[in-house]
Amino acid sequence: MSTSNAEEVEGSSVDQVILDAARECVAEFGVKRTTLVEVARRAGVSRPTVYRRWPDTRALIGDLLTRELRETVAHADIRGADGRTKVVRTIVASAAAVRNNPLFQKIFRTDTDLLLTYIVDRLGRSQHELVAVFTAYIAAGQADGSIRAGDPVQLATMLLLIVQSAVQSAQIVADALPGAALDTELAIAIDGYLRPISGDTK
């Protein structure tokens, strides 16, 4: 391994250690009480090491949330599926994983203003990445005939709105729509939204 490659691997490893420490802090304290100083202490690195990578806590938390969402999407079982099935499985599995993720549960309970930033003011990087994943699957589904015609980015963005609502409001409807039932109804809703309309052409 070359020196530059070794440094890159080492840097990536340090990043993951810091993100792991940030995850522990958020799970224990919430976002507002998480500081880069405490993250550095838990990660066993110097404060400058953290500051060189992230200028502030919000930037670090943003990357942490992106990593968490990437992992949930990566675990969706989409083997051998057509485009529409890939979208449905990915969204339903990811939504369930987020609902049951201790980190997101903590944020839902204690840091609603952070959620409002991404719901009302702007899309975060993790949301942009989800839209990109959905867009790719939708384009593939349109090519194989399993998804209706339409702008893939617009369809993907609408799906983001649907899944955000399903995740963020799950707790308040849990008595009427518990987890398994929510997964079933979400799958039906997404499948129906994407299903080809009579007269569609590839």
Residue 129 pLDDT grade (very low, low, confident, very high; cuts 50, 70, 90): confident
Same domain, 27 and 77: no
Instruction: Please write the tens of the pLDDT for every residue from 156-173.
Output: 999 999 998 898 888 889
Q: Which domain holds residue 4?
A: 1-55
Structure confidence at residue 120 (pLDDT):
46
Instruction: Please write the tens of the pLDDT for every residue from 23-51.
Output: 999 988 888 889 999 999 999 999 999 99
Question: The domain spanning residue 19 has which CATH number?
Answer: 1.10.10.60
Distance (Å, whole) CA 82 – CA 142:
10
H helix runs in the chain, sequence order: 3-29, 36-43, 47-53, 57-74, 83-99, 102-110, 112-116, 125-144, 152-168, 179-194
Domains identified in the chain, total number: 2
Instruction: Please write the tens of the pLDDT for every residue from 65-121.
Output: 888 888 887 777 777 789 999 899 989 988 998 888 888 888 878 877 666 565 444
Full-model pTM:
0.78
pLDDT higher than 60, residue 6 = no
Same domain, 116 and 160: yes
For residue 47, give both structure tokens: 């404060």
Structure confidence at residue 10 (pLDDT):
54
Question: The domain spanning residue 85 has which CATH number?
Answer: 1.10.357.10
Same domain, 107 and 74: yes
